[in-house]
């Protein structure tokens, strides 16, 4: 079998019952176009979500429909070629962040995001994926981190966090309540996350641990479109959590990591977990509800929240960040289209790991800029390190005067100081 046949066969194999039914039911209304920032910000019809799937539609039609099979037999339709797949690769990878907005508007219920993910599975099997994403995936499998972060680097961050906080960062502690995962971006770009968690958990009296065999939460397999690799990366976390016998694994401030470990992991590895999975925002909100998360003082700067697509729209963690921000911010305002209708930062779904897409990503940032301009805030809080880097990049490219921060560090900045706790105790005694 030639590599071309292999490639097309890989596409044919991706066409399952939902995909066939989605193609069959598309009424060509074009509503998905206006939901996609790549279309709205460029006006280019090639970025209409369903159009990004055109090669897959042709493979479906030729192989799965009566008229398509007949036309193929009579030589009236051309098969999809490898050259076409290569030409199509930027549409599948560079111009889709898997944000899920198009799936929300389709009047016949087509989950276009699911279709694009299946198309990526076919693309990878056919040997077509962006170099940046391939490199990140290889590093994730071989080193354990898409950015090549080793345990030695994490240990250096642990040391810094311990010096900054005066607390011990627990590692490989058995039977802890929580096992904390991190993303490489937090280790490299936002080391304050680890210290913030340590301080919050210390105040709340939470038992927790890092796992030296499973620190990385991100999952390049999900982004590139390889279920096998996605399963392998999830299995590492499952093995670590089960070895330490923890009760709950905490997904960090990262969007797609939550999708991978919370919503898809058990299906990927083919069995249920022996532990729960929560996002860090869910944990903080639970602690708030139990009265274990105490804060003091309020941010007075006008502030808003960027909803990470995988966490909010796709993951359902909508109210938790709002309840948390209302604890510490007196001037929290919502952007237009906030919550499940939020617009993507432009770099999700592996786009940020794909340098070829940088120019397009910064162009479509105009949608986020318009949202932010509408409220005119000084501070932007988010709960995904990838979003945060993309927002910083977009803000810099557009000369926007904006402070961009993570949720955990925002909360940690308002923890009561030990001194003030003592003072309160003394004054009430
Ligand atoms: S998932 Fe988001 S980025 Fe991808 S096609 Fe749909 S709306 Fe566009
Ligand atoms: S919104 Fe749905 S039905 Fe309309 S063109 Fe897009 S995929 Fe087809």
The CATH code of the domain that includes 58 is 1.10.1060
Find out whether 92 and 116 touch, Cβ atoms under 8 Å.
yes
Query: How confident is the model at residue 6, as a pLDDT?
Result: 66
426 part of a folded domain: no
284: DSSP letter: H
Query: How confident is the model at residue 2, as a pLDDT?
Result: 53
Find out whether 324 and 363 touch, Cβ atoms under 8 Å.
no
Task: Report the CATH number that the domain containing residue 199 is assigned in CATH.
Answer: 1.20.1050
**pTM higher than 0.85:** yes
SS3 248: strand
Judgement on whether residues 277 and 257 belong to the same structural domain of the protein: yes
- Mutational test site, ligand 1, from 39, 40, 95, 97, max ligand atoms within 8 Å of CB: 97
E strands along 150-205, which residues? 178-180
Q: Closest Cα to atom 3, ligand 2: which residue?
A: 26
- Candidates 237, 250, 234, 238; CA nearest to 194 is 250
37 part of a folded domain: yes
Q: Which of 94, 128, 162 is the last residue of a domain?
A: 128
Find out whether 37 and 346 touch, Cβ atoms under 8 Å.
yes
Distance 102 CA to ligand 1 centre (A): 6
Query: How confident is the model at residue 4, as a pLDDT?
Result: 58
Longest dimension (CA), the chain: 92
Number of domains within the chain: 3
Task: Report the CATH number that the domain containing residue 356 is assigned in CATH.
Answer: 3.40.50
- Mutational test site, ligand 1, from 101, 111, 119, 312, max ligand atoms within 8 Å of CB: 101
- Candidates 265, 306, 348; CA nearest to 98 is 348
> Is 36 a pocket residue for ligand 2 (Cβ < 6 Å)?
no
Its domain, for residue 208, covers 135-289
Distance 117 CA to ligand 1 centre (A): 11
418 part of a folded domain: no
Judgement on whether residues 208 and 268 belong to the same structural domain of the protein: yes
Judgement on whether residues 265 and 309 belong to the same structural domain of the protein: no
Find out whether 317 and 279 touch, Cβ atoms under 8 Å.
yes
296 part of a folded domain: no
Find out whether 184 and 145 touch, Cβ atoms under 8 Å.
yes
Query: How confident is the model at residue 5, as a pLDDT?
Result: 63
Q: Which of 289, 318, 345 is the last residue of a domain?
A: 289
Judgement on whether residues 175 and 95 belong to the same structural domain of the protein: no
How do beta strands 403-406 and 379-382 pair?
parallel
CB crowding 55-80: b at 16 or more within 10 Å, else e: bbbbbbbbbeeeebeeebeeeebeeb
Judgement on whether residues 283 and 142 belong to the same structural domain of the protein: yes
Phi, psi of 107 (to 5 degrees): -70, -20
156 part of a folded domain: yes
Judgement on whether residues 194 and 316 belong to the same structural domain of the protein: no
256 part of a folded domain: yes
SS3 406: strand
Q: Which of 222, 255, 289 is the last residue of a domain?
A: 289
Q: Residue holding tokens 């369903």? A: 50
221 part of a folded domain: yes
> Is 29 a pocket residue for ligand 2 (Cβ < 6 Å)?
yes
29 part of a folded domain: yes
Judgement on whether residues 278 and 367 belong to the same structural domain of the protein: no
Give the C-alpha distances (Å, rounded to integers) separating 312 from 246, 269, 375, 384: 26, 24, 20, 11
> Is 30 a pocket residue for ligand 2 (Cβ < 6 Å)?
yes
Distance from the first to the final alpha carbon of the chain: 82
In order along its 429 residues, the chain shows pLDDT tens digits of: 455 566 778 888 889 999 999 999 999 999 999 999 999 999 999 999 999 999 999 999 999 999 989 998 898 888 888 888 999 999 999 999 999 999 999 999 999 999 999 999 999 998 899 999 999 999 999 999 999 999 999 999 999 999 999 999 999 999 999 999 999 989 899 999 999 999 999 999 999 999 999 999 999 999 999 999 999 999 999 999 999 999 999 999 999 999 999 999 999 999 999 999 999 999 999 999 999 999 999 999 999 999 999 999 999 999 999 999 999 999 999 999 999 999 999 999 999 999 999 999 999 999 999 999 999 999 999 999 999 999 999 999 999 999 999 999 999 999 998 654 443 444 333
Q: What is the CA radius of gyration of the chain?
A: 23
Judgement on whether residues 14 and 91 belong to the same structural domain of the protein: yes
Query: How confident is the model at residue 426, as a pLDDT?
Result: 40
Judgement on whether residues 36 and 123 belong to the same structural domain of the protein: yes
Distance 30 CA to ligand 2 centre (A): 5
Judgement on whether residues 324 and 279 belong to the same structural domain of the protein: no
Rounded CA-CA distance 126/119 in Å is: 10
Judgement on whether residues 370 and 341 belong to the same structural domain of the protein: yes
3-state helix, strand, coil in the chain (%, to 5): 60, 5, 35
Distance 287 CA to ligand 2 centre (A): 42
Query: How confident is the model at residue 8, as a pLDDT?
Result: 78
Query: How confident is the model at residue 428, as a pLDDT?
Result: 39
Judgement on whether residues 307 and 275 belong to the same structural domain of the protein: no
Query: How confident is the model at residue 336, as a pLDDT?
Result: 97
CA angle 39/404/305 to nearest 5° reads 65
């Amino acid at each position: 079998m030639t590599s071309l046949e292999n490639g097309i066969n890989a596409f044919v194999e991706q066409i399952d019952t939902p995909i066939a039914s989605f193609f069959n039911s598309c009424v060509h209304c074009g509503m998905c176009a206006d939901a996609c920032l790549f279309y709205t910000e460029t006006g280019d019809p090639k970025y209409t979500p369903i159009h990004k799937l055109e090669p897959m539609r042709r493979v479906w039609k030729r192989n799965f429909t009566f008229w398509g099979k007949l036309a193929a037999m009579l030589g009236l339709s051309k098969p999809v070629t490898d050259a076409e797949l290569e030409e199509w690769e930027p549409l599948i990878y560079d111009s889709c962040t898997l944000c899920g907005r198009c799936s929300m508007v389709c009047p016949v219920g087509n989950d276009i995001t699911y279709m694009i993910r299946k198309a990526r599975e076919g693309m990878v099997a056919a040997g077509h994926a962006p170099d940046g994403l391939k490199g990140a995936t290889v590093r994730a499998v071989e080193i354990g981190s898409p950015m090549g972060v080793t345990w030695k680097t994490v240990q250096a961050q642990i040391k810094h966090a311990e010096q900054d906080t005066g607390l011990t960062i627990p590692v490989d502690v058995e039977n802890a309540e929580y096992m904390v995962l991190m993303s490489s971006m937090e280790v490299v770009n936002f080391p304050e996350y680890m210290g913030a968690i340590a301080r919050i958990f210390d105040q709340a009296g939470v038992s927790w641990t890092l796992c030296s065999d499973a620190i990385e939460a991100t999952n390049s397999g999900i982004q590139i479109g390889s279920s096998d690799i996605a399963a392998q990366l999830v299995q590492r976390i499952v093995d670590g959590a089960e070895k330490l016998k923890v009760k709950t694994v905490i997904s960090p401030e990262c969007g797609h990591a939550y999708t991978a470990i919370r919503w898809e992991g058990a299906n990927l590895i083919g069995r249920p977990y022996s532990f729960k999975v929560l996002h860090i925002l869910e944990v903080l909100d639970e602690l708030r509800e139990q009265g274990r998360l105490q804060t003091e003082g309020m941010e007075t700067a006008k502030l808003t929240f960027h909803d990470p697509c995988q966490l909010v729209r796709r993951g359902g963690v909508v109210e938790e960040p709002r309840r948390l921000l209302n604890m510490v911010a007196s001037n929290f305002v919502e952007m237009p289209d906030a919550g499940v209708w939020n617009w993507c930062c432009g770099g999700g779904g592996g786009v940020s790991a794909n340098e070829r897409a940088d120019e397009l990503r910064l162009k479509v940032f105009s949608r986020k800029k318009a949202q932010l301009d509408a409220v005119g805030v000084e501070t932007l809080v988010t709960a995904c390190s990838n979003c945060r880097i993309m927002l910083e990049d977009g803000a810099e490219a557009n000369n926007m005067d904006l402070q961009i921060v993570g949720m955990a560090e925002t909360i940690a900045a308002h923890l009561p100081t030990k001194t003030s706790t003592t003072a309160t105790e003394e004054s009430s005694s």
